[in-house]
Amino acid sequence: MLRVFAQLGEPVVREVGEPEVRPGEVLVDTAYSTVSTGTETLILRRSRENPGVDEEYPGSNPRWPKIRDGLVGERFPRNPEVELGTSLGYSASGVVRAVGEGVTDVAAGMTVACSGSQCAHHAEVIAVPRNLVSVLPDGVSLRQGAFVTLGAIAVEALRKADVKFGETVVIYGLGLLGLLAAQIARAGGLYVIGMDIDPNRLELARTLGFPHVFDPRDAATDGRVRDLTGGFGADAVLLGIVTDSNDPLNHALDLCRQRGTVVGVGVFGMTIDRSRMGGNDVTIKQSIAYGPGRYDPRYEEGGVDYPIGLVRWTEHRNMAHFLRLLAEGAVDVSLLAPEPILIADAPQGYALLAGPDRPPTVQFRHNA
């Protein structure tokens, strides 16, 4: 089967062995997979700077490589020529081929959405733990379902912000995650203000129905946010950007109301101007992946769910919630990616994302 790797800064497509389905897993013939633009671009860059990196995702739990060696390494046979490659992709959809021992609520022939940087790669066949698989609701296509992980990340970021209907959230960075988060926030009864330095992204946000979108570098932007929030500032700011600069984080502090919240979703400079933070008593949080359960081998690989009375929103329940929003038409992903690219031509997709007219993401077509 074909699978996409990052090697020495370049995406490469290799023929590798198919994964084996183990107890508690679901074997899926992949239909589509969606590129996580910021994360995968960063991985490609790091694979050039540090050729020895092996399947390490930014921000992942440092214990995860050891867990992966013992569990995931057995599921995906390694080829010597790709030993130093980083597997790309963690959001996919497809048709169930088979299920492992102990899986009773998913069956061959079902259409599903899959998550996990340790398993839901850009690959023609994937073996995914049950807690990282969601059955597609009626009305949700395989192309839509392949956005599941990105949607769950946006859902979890909004949960971290702890915003309630009627409140205002600034989505700082209108890339793939930002545009998903904006739509999810609107569906939850929040007022949304968007910010980005790319005029094409601002225009796309307007097309999706968000009139209040601004360039953060514009001197009038802060005043507009105050005007739209009754003079108080935003209840929360989601920072979905990739930059070494400290300016966006400090700007986010300025945009918040007193005791507001800043939630980090991307990768950015973290040197804080204390004078800007202390005056408003702003809380800064980091959102971790797609929700509780991520990086816990007992939950993901072991299949042990968290009781809903103790953990209302696990990563699996966040995935299901995003798919429900797709089914209800509350989130539109049709404008976020061009026509899918054949998996064999995956490097063309990454080249498109590096170009001047880059879309929010691209999708790869496998067995569809």
Q: Are 169 and 187 in contact (CB under 8 A)?
A: no
Q: Containing domain of residue 137, as a range?
A: 2-147+292-365
One domain, residues 65 and 166 = no
At residue 73, the pLDDT reads 45
Number of structural domains found in the chain: 2
Q: Are 128 and 28 in contact (CB under 8 A)?
A: yes
Spans of the chain, pLDDT less than 70: 50-84
Q: How far is Cα 120 from Cα 113, in angstroms, rounded to an integer?
A: 9
Final residue before a domain boundary, out of 252, 286, 320: 286
For the record, the structure tokens of 4 come out as 């996409």
One domain, residues 42 and 70 = yes
- Pairing of β 234-239 and β 256-264: parallel
One domain, residues 122 and 79 = yes
* 83-98 tens-digit pLDDT: 547 899 999 999 999 9
One domain, residues 77 and 171 = no
Query: pTM here?
Result: 0.92
Query: At residue 101, what are phi and psi to the nearest 5 degrees?
Result: -55, 135
One domain, residues 171 and 282 = yes
One domain, residues 164 and 118 = no
In order of 169, 239, 250, 264, 283, the CA distances from 268 in angstroms are 19, 9, 11, 8, 17
CATH of the domain at 128: 3.90.180.10
Q: How far is Cα 245 from Cα 273, in angstroms, rounded to an integer?
A: 13
One domain, residues 120 and 226 = no
One domain, residues 280 and 337 = no
For the record, the structure tokens of 177 come out as 């995650």
* The length of the chain, given as a count of residues: 368
At residue 48, the pLDDT reads 81
At residue 278, the pLDDT reads 72
One domain, residues 202 and 116 = no
In angstroms, what is the C-alpha Rg of the chain? 20
Report CA 288 to chain centroid distance, whole Å.
Answer: 10
Q: How far is Cα 17 from Cα 86, in angstroms, rounded to an integer?
A: 16
For the record, the structure tokens of 213 come out as 């979108």
Quick one: which of 331, 352, 329 has its CA closest to 340? 352
One domain, residues 139 and 162 = no
In order of 174, 276, 357, the CA distances from 201 in angstroms are 6, 28, 10
At residue 78, the pLDDT reads 43
The residue with tokens 């809903």 is 308
CATH of the domain at 281: 3.40.50.720
One domain, residues 6 and 143 = yes
* 131-153 tens-digit pLDDT: 999 999 999 999 999 999 999 99
One domain, residues 217 and 251 = yes
At residue 367, the pLDDT reads 87
Final residue before a domain boundary, out of 246, 261, 286: 286
Final residue before a domain boundary, out of 286, 309, 324: 286
